Chain A
Amino acid sequence: MANPTPNPTANPTAMTPQAYLLARGRWHPLEIAFWLATLLPFILFPNYLSLASQIAITALFALSLDLILGYAGVVSLGHAAFFGLGAYSAGLFSKYVWGEPFSGLLVAAALAGLLGYATSFIISRFRHLPLIMITLGLGLLAHEVANSAHWLTGGSDGLQGVRTEPIFGVFRFDLYGKTAYAYSLAVLFIVFLCARRLINSPFGLALRGIRENWNRMPAIGADSRAHIRKAYTIAAIIAGICGALLTQTTNSASLESISFQRSADVLVMLVLGGAGRLYGGLIGAAIFMVARDQFSGIAPQFWYFWIGVLLVAVVMFLPNGILGGLSKIYAKWSRK
């Protein structure tokens, strides 16, 4: 600490370390282009705004999984539990309390966060196969609870009587999904900003440390379990928000929202897009959802044939997903 100003000659880029780390959090032009592009559906595909809204919600869900899986390396096969809890609580809130959407969102986020916090004490104790099993088990358990609590959730018939009031009392959820998409997109963007801030924070760095080397963390004085508990709770909150969005924009909540299928799908999307890259989940979700919409004519089992082939291919040939592959090509190309 004798010399607080670093020697600039030792640094080829002539950038102070602080400036270097600050620059990491700066917006890239491609990011701005990406977010501008999310507005295009309003103009180009006005008939597909409902789908666009579903994509935005799913993208946010993938982002939430990315925080724990991509950044902290915590594999979860039961993330839909929080999505489903958010979906049902927003639905029930609108049914029994009132239909104002923002308060419904907050209630769903709070409940999912509570469940996330409670289960994070279990999750953070495990790694590897036991972790996969525990998340799978908790996810299936959540599904069974929703299924057996027929009196509350409507079981396999789905939750009836959800009514969402207009946003700000003005913007009705219309048939074309215009309001739905605007609403979902706005929430996605706001939560994305928070997540972006989080991954560029000291906490985000600690999460990456956990992912990179779990064994080293205690040797630098880090309490990885405390970090994981926190990340897991935050991810659960976001997943709860996603579920609430789905309920509010579709005026229904079903068992599908809390199923293993949803947990597996979101994992596929994230890995396809590229985990640990913030935009990976968003891009993966967009591709997955558009593809599923395009192939909606074919029987679901054949859809899953291609998903299976895709998974094998990604694991074998594209270990960091589409974004990982692209950035590799970009790096090669810019080095020339």
Chain B
Amino acid sequence: MELENSGRESVLQIALLGGVYNNYLALEATLQDASQRGCDEIYCLGDLGAFGPYPDRVFPLLDQYNVTCVQGNYDDSIGNGLDNCQCGYTDPRDNHFAQLSFDYTLANTSSGNRAYLRQLPKEIRLERYGLEILLCHGSPRRINEFLWESATSTQFLEYLGKQHQADIIVGTHTGIKWLRQLADQRWFCNSGVVGRPENDGATNVWYTILDIQTGHHGSSKRRALENVSWRHVPIHYDYRRLACEMEQEAIPTEFIETIRSGWWTTCLEVLPGKERRRGRF
């Protein structure tokens, strides 16, 4: 290890999670995991509500673990009492199911929590060791833009980074984690979601930890970027209990099946072919 007179090396750990979708059980397991690992900061990238049960159970956890949130399209819709989730589905079957979970969430989110959702920021900017980090929901330019790994070019992500003056951009929204290194060691990362499994037949969910090695005081941005690394962390939680509670709340079986099987059953039209092919439906 390099020795510098600035002292010992340590690591700044930033936990990044997205897409809670009312899954308060997975959220709690994630937050426990992050604090056990000693994460210094925890951020949620939005979409607190969707097809899970008991929307109000998410909020006390965010408070308890001191989680700072970005607003997702769902939060905008629920907070402002709009009539749909703004995912932009066109398939009638997708819209049907999306609407059922939206109506359920809207009816079961307290007015206090809706006020909280309304005031959430569309982006959060962090400056850590000279690095500009931009946290957003879909993309820095649009809250509900889907950035899929197979459908997003590297030069486009570099353009977004320049346009929004960010060395690191983190988003969520699509439901599947991915990571791309850009020119000059900059990064784009999709944190994944904790609300539902990743359409891979496994029941666990994912969040992401951004590690920045510290201890090189006075170092350049380039140096700081060299000290960035990422971990996607799988979270196993009591999905059987979640599924039972979804049944009790009469949430459509299609959503419950996803929790139990790890395969997505609806809202598949927005998946590019490469991502869709990995799923069952």
Asked if A pairs with B, the answer is no
